[in-house]
Copies of this chain bind each other. A is one copy, B any other.
């Protein structure tokens, strides 16, 4: 589990990801629903591959991902690894 200071330092490497004290999170906006859902599908593939599953929500062309390591009750490398993979999409 990381300290708030470590989390902030790591967030600097990830464009537009933020920390709300519980999760690191980011919202993604796409051209339409189809594009947003295709993104979510790729996120689902990452989640199963890494066995690490984000909380997510969607409104039409917008998808929000929230990451946290439940077992550690905090933010860990797993969350940043996941976020980096998402940024590579």
A81 is an interface residue with CB less than 8 A from chain B: no
Chain B: CB-nearest residue to A66: B59
Q: Could you say how many copies of this chain the assembly holds?
A: 4
A5 is an interface residue with CB less than 8 A from chain B: no
Contacts of A42 in B (CB 8 A): 34-35, 37-38
Contacts of A60 in B (CB 8 A): 53
On whether the beta carbons of A45 and B53 are closer than 8 Å, the reply is: no
Minimal beta-carbon separation of A31 from chain B (angstroms): 10
A57 is an interface residue with CB less than 8 A from chain B: yes
CB-contact partner of A47 in B33, B39, B41, under 8 A: B33
CB-contact partner of A59 in B40, B41, B55, under 8 A: B55
Binding site for B on A (CB under 8 A): 33-35, 37-42, 44-49, 51, 53, 55-60, 89
